[in-house]
Amino acid sequence: MKKTFTMLAAAAIAATTAAPALADLVVPNLSYRTGPFAAGGIPYADGFNDYFTLLNERDGGIGGEKVQVPECETAYNTEKGVECYEATKGQGALVYNPLSTGITYQLIPKVSADGITLYTPGYGRTSAANGKVFEWVFNYPANYWDGASVAIKYLLDENGGSLEGKKIALLYHNSAYGKEPIRTLQELAKKHGFTLSELPIDSPGQEQKSQWLQVRRDKPDYVLFWGWGVMNSVAVQEAANIRFPMDKFIGIWWSGSENDVLPAGDGANGYKALTFNGVGGDYPVYADLKKYVFDAGKGSGAGDSAGSVIYSRGMYAAVVISEAIRKAQELAGTPKVNAAQVRDGFEALEITDARLEELGLKGFGQAFKATCADHGGAGGAMIQQWDAAAKKWSLITGFIEPDHDVLDPLVAEDSAAFAAENNIAERCN
Amino acid sequence: MFYREAGDFKTSYVDDSQTFPIRFDRMRYYAVLVLGFGILPFVMNDYWANAVFVPFLIYAIAAIGLNILTGYCGQVSLGTGGFMAVGAYACYKLMTAFPWMPMPVNVLLAGLVTAGVGVLFGLPSLRIKGFYLAVATLAAQFFLVWLFNKVPWFYNYSASGQITAPERTLLGVAVTGASTPAWAKYLFCAVFLFALAWLARNLTRGTVGRKWMAIRDMDIAAEIIGVNPLTTKLSAFAVSSFYIGIAGALFFAVYLGAAEVGEAFGIQKSFLILFMVIIGGLGSIFGSFAGAAFLVLLPVLLKNVLVGGLGWPTDLAAHIELMIVGALIIVFLILEPHGLAQLWRVAKEKLRLWPFPH
């Protein structure tokens, strides 16, 4: 017994101290392939890994430097996320993308102290869009407040420009993630004269009967939905059960994947969700992915999610990170960039439509340009709708711009509070 | 041979009633102290502190707290997560309301606040026992988590409902916040654990502890011999919640740095700490340490061996890890229902006779 323990301990010490060769570019993938949120975590992690594998196989990495993507399982749990961060940061990590708003809140102070970039596309702390306060955090191309504003703008369009007297319910994951849009929606409710009701669902959200009962009683005109993981498919099913009109039920981008609507079958037909990136397997990059990654047997995971909504988003994150590293290499004049240089790359990053086309991803995302003060990007999002018969998402709008008049003061206010709490002086002046 | 009472003469009552009557045990205890306070802080790095030692120290405090209530006084509690949340939020409110207050004072006051809340939720224990009390404390768990989610005053009206620990220094060294050095985190928690474990050990040996155990073993008999169930049960709740509150405050302020009540202090936390106490051994301070070590260190160890050492995919490793930890818990409970502390006791008995058992 004692002997086995000693051996295990020795193995553990050997395991923790064995770091990979430091010459490579290291982009840890803090993923979750287990637990109630794995339905979203698995395709995201696969898309993220596959794109870097493609770069390594096709181009020999970025600027001739191979990219290593050590994976660490967080199970969407903040404690494990912190452990993963500590375990991987010693390997020379350049940028983190934990795909969890809770873990993001944990890591913001840590990355700022350690000098490592935190990239949180479409999630995390919204006010991190203010680069004057959040030097090390980037959340372009869009954030939750953008999403909330885009959804309301879409509803304004549907209702001829006025939401006066309408009732909108926000159904949300009772966590930092789900609470993010409340502030914005309250402001928008004041501006446009609709009433907002807030219906929290406790994590993991397998039990939502009481919330949907309330929806049935209140009869809101629209339901906005901030869910993730197993909670999404349950909500779509419940909405179908109470015969809530699905085209008045709009999810945020994390609540609009195939996994969320397939279980409800025909009942899910017409459900809408936001997205800030294109989906589907029609982009030219998939030909390369097939040639260099899937057919070569180097695909991540089971390989069944390529082209799905969340897979595309994981790939999108990898595209932006690789472009930022490329930019950093250009700025630093060396392919061997360190974490501080990668941050500069993120801040100088410009994604143009032409560049996306070169990457084989024409129209995949919105063009944006980061600056010292703006870490948030343009913030546009599209609305997609589920077609249950064809089993696919189709885009029903182009990019809708959020209402910057409402959002900018909110971002400034929230980031100022953070700056005051942490004694941060504004940069970029 | 070296582990024996023989030849170790006690010439005073104080000597006779010391915690470690055997010289080898005493030496081992001092050796652990030297290692813990003299050596580890100097070799501590961020990974070891954040992934291994700090959570172990904090969970050990919580496990001692629950052990006082459940192991020594026999009152089952499923509200540990909720009480930890009370400690965390009390600490947060104190830190933000009185920025000048030294951090140890914040933590101790958070413990006192939790003790008050614990007494309040301990009141039903005067009427109900066993499973029914477990349900009452379960209600405390859900109520407290709901409260901290619902009332914005507790999280200072932040947009996301998260609480974030601002930086506080002690003697010029940061002990909370992101720029805290690993050794400071470790040492801050280690000092609390040492003081609290020492206190718990001595409390449980004295009148207070004996009263608790009398109530645990048979409450009617205890009442007949003059133990007041009201003060005894409530004191157990108070002391236990004080420990758990301190653990919650440290968990939030030193270990996590930011917390969200539903996730950090949910029902899983209550169960985790209850399992630590059961696996470690009910009614044993050493058992609290052993249980905390088992449930904190084993998953990290397995993860490092399976993913880092053997290169398995992370999802497979995570599933196997759950299965191994679960299987080990069952094996331990079948082989030794009284927990790791009993194994340790048996080992000590054997050591006394070793190498001539007959």
pLDDT at A3: 45
Which pLDDT band, with edges at 50, 70 and 90, does A19 fall under?
very low
Total-model pTM:
0.87
- Is residue A12's pLDDT more than 60? no
Q: Give the count of alpha carbons within 13 A of B25, CB side only.
A: 16
pLDDT at A20: 46
Interface membership of B314 toward A (CB under 8 Å): yes
Q: Which token pair is B138?
A: 């379960």
What superfamily would CATH give domain A144-279+381-408? Answer: Response regulator (3.40.50.2300)
3-state class of A24 per DSSP? coil
3-state class of B257 per DSSP? coil
pLDDT at A16: 47
Q: Is A103 in contact with A123 (CB distance < 8 Å)?
A: no
- Is residue A72's pLDDT more than 50? yes
Q: In angstroms, what separates the C-alpha of A204 from chain B's closest C-alpha?
A: 10
Which residue does chain B place closest to A33, by CA atoms? B315
pLDDT at A7: 52
Which pLDDT band, with edges at 50, 70 and 90, does B193 fall under?
very high
Residues of A in contact with B326 (CB under 8 A): none
Which residue does chain B place closest to A72, by CA atoms? B314
Q: For every residue of B264-300, which 3-state class applies, written as one string?
A: HCCHHHHHHHHHHHHHHCCCCHHHHHHHHHHHHHHHH
Q: Which residues make Cβ contacts (< 8 Å) with residue A246, sequence separation at least 6? A: A239, A240, A267, A268, A269, A270, A271, A272, A386
CA-based Rg of chain B, rounded to a whole angstrom?
21
pLDDT at B38: 84
pLDDT at B165: 83
- The span from the first CA to the last CA of chain A, in angstroms, equals 63
- Is residue B138's pLDDT more than 80? yes
C-alpha dihedral over B64, B65, B67, B69, to 10 degrees? 160
pLDDT at B60: 94
- What proportion of chain B, given as a percentage, has pLDDT over 70? 99
B256/A78 Cβ within 8 A: yes
State chain B's mean pLDDT as an integer. Answer: 87
% helix, strand, coil for chain A, step of 5: 50, 15, 35
Cross-chain CB nearest to B160 (options A33, A105, A112): A105
Q: In angstroms, what separates the C-alpha of B76 from chain A's closest C-alpha?
A: 25
pLDDT at B248: 94
Residues of A in contact with B260 (CB under 8 A): 78, 102, 105, 175-176
Residues 246-285 of B with CB under 8 A from A: 256-260, 262-264, 266
Q: Is A415 in contact with A299 (CB distance < 8 Å)?
A: no
Q: Of A170, A239, A177, A184, which is closest to residue A203 (Cα–Cα)? A: A177
Main-chain phi, psi angles of B174, to 5 degrees: -65, 135
Q: Which token pair is A42?
A: 């698995």
Cross-chain CB nearest to A105 (options B51, B258, B308): B258
Which of A305-319, B168-182, B205-219 has the least mean pLDDT?
A: B168-182
pLDDT at A23: 61
B317/A73 Cβ within 8 A: yes
Cross-chain CB nearest to B264 (options A9, A78, A423): A78
Which pLDDT band, with edges at 50, 70 and 90, does A1 fall under?
very low
CATH number belonging to domain A19-143+283-378:
3.40.50.2300
- How many Å apart are CA B228 and CA A74, to the nearest integer? 48
B305/A11 Cβ within 8 A: yes
Which of A1, A29, A33, A298 to mutate to test binding with chain B, by most B CBs within 10 Å of its CB?
A33
C-alpha dihedral over B276, B277, B281, B282, to 10 degrees? -170
Cross-chain CB nearest to A179 (options B160, B308, B313): B160
A244-290 pLDDT, tens digit each: 999 889 999 999 888 889 888 888 888 999 998 888 778 888 888 88
- How many Å apart are CA B256 and CA A85, to the nearest integer? 12
A174/B149 Cβ within 8 A: yes
Which residue does chain A place closest to B320, by CA atoms? A34
Q: In angstroms, what separates the C-alpha of B7 from chain A's closest C-alpha?
A: 29
pLDDT at B268: 87
Main-chain phi, psi angles of A62, to 5 degrees: -110, 120
Q: Is B245 in contact with B114 (CB distance < 8 Å)?
A: yes
Q: In angstroms, what separates the C-alpha of A109 from chain B's closest C-alpha?
A: 5
Q: Taking residues A234-245, what's their average pLDDT? A: 90
Q: Which of residues B24 and A242 earns the better pLDDT score? A: A242
pLDDT at B192: 93
A147-192 pLDDT, tens digit each: 899 999 999 988 888 888 889 999 999 888 888 888 889 989 998 9
Residues of A in contact with B351 (CB under 8 A): none
- Is residue A17's pLDDT more than 70? no
Q: In angstroms, what separates the C-alpha of A32 from chain B's closest C-alpha?
A: 8
Interface membership of B151 toward A (CB under 8 Å): no
Q: In angstroms, what separates the C-alpha of B282 from chain A's closest C-alpha?
A: 23
Which residue does chain A place closest to B305, by CA atoms? A12
Residues of A in contact with B158 (CB under 8 A): 417
Interface membership of B308 toward A (CB under 8 Å): yes
Interface membership of B318 toward A (CB under 8 Å): yes
pLDDT at A335: 85
Q: Taking residues A295-317, what's their average pLDDT? A: 84
Which of A17, A91, A105, A413 to mutate to test binding with chain B, by most B CBs within 10 Å of its CB?
A105
Residues of A in contact with B160 (CB under 8 A): 101, 105, 125, 176, 179-180
State chain A's mean pLDDT as an integer. Answer: 85
Q: Which token pair is A262?
A: 């397939």
B46-97 pLDDT, tens digit each: 888 888 899 999 999 999 999 999 989 888 889 999 999 999 999 999 988 8
DSSP annotation of B38 reads I
Which pLDDT band, with edges at 50, 70 and 90, does A225 fall under?
very high
B315/A110 Cβ within 8 A: no
CA-based Rg of chain A, rounded to a whole angstrom?
21
How many residues does this entry show for chain B?
358
Q: Taking residues B174-180, what's their average pLDDT? A: 79
| For chain A, domain boundaries | 19-143+283-378, 144-279+381-408
B232-273 pLDDT, tens digit each: 999 999 999 999 999 999 999 888 888 888 888 988 899 999
Q: Which token pair is B287?
A: 């058992």
* Contacts of range A334-338, beta carbons closer than 8 Å, 24 or more positions apart: A335/A62, A335/A63, A335/A64, A335/A65, A336/A23, A336/A65, A337/A25, A337/A94, A338/A92, A338/A94
Which pLDDT band, with edges at 50, 70 and 90, does A15 fall under?
very low
Which of A46, A101, A175, A410 to mutate to test binding with chain B, by most B CBs within 10 Å of its CB?
A175
A120-138 pLDDT, tens digit each: 988 888 888 888 889 899 9
A106/B161 Cβ within 8 A: no
Tell me how far CA of residue A237 lies from CA of A116, A201, A232, A271, in angstroms.
41, 15, 9, 11
Domain A144-279+381-408 in the same topology as domain A19-143+283-378:
yes
Q: In angstroms, what separates the C-alpha of A257 from chain B's closest C-alpha?
A: 21
Cross-chain CB nearest to A82 (options B159, B256, B262): B256
Which of A5, A16, A125 to mutate to test binding with chain B, by most B CBs within 10 Å of its CB?
A16
Residues of B in contact with A127 (CB under 8 A): 159
B86-136 pLDDT, tens digit each: 999 999 999 888 888 888 999 999 999 999 999 998 888 888 888 888 888
